[in-house]
Structure 1
């Protein structure tokens, strides 16, 4: 069974299927990539909790940065956020994001917590 949460005509914020949780891309508020990454990951936490998962259950993450020069600052926040021993498969690339004020977007796939 496929379950969709917070669905509109364009997308669902969460899709859960066969014990796997898929989140739509999350962005955050703030002036700096550090602030936006912290807020973005807080939103990921909330959605994972709602879907019955946690950051310990993340299988894969894709991170888009508006500027690769922000990679070290984003990684500082990420490294503090991801639990030790739970690093997921991850990719990070530079991309033009949907808004000119956006610096980072994170897409996560996770297992449902058992």
Structure 2
């Protein structure tokens, strides 16, 4: 009985972590709002939307995001800076960054709002 309790207590965390990966849940090691704010601070980025963060494995985080940039901004520089920041600050190894021109008509876009 004691052995069963020990096994149950030690495996419950492994099962929980495995379920997060299998269900592509948000990793607990990364703060969504922090990533969102960091992306907004990149020089040339006007707006961030469609940010998605999920676990590929227990130690591998993936991010997908759309960045609207100001007219005349260097898209390649922003892409490289974004990828480097995600890798260095948040240990993200898999990222998809879509660069778009800023569209002021999307001011009321519901997908553009970060979660509260």
Rg larger in structure: 2
Which of 1 and 2 has higher RCO (CA within 8 Å, sep 6+)? Answer: 1
Q: Which has the higher strand share?
A: 1
TM-score (norm 2): 0.33
TM-score (norm 1): 0.34
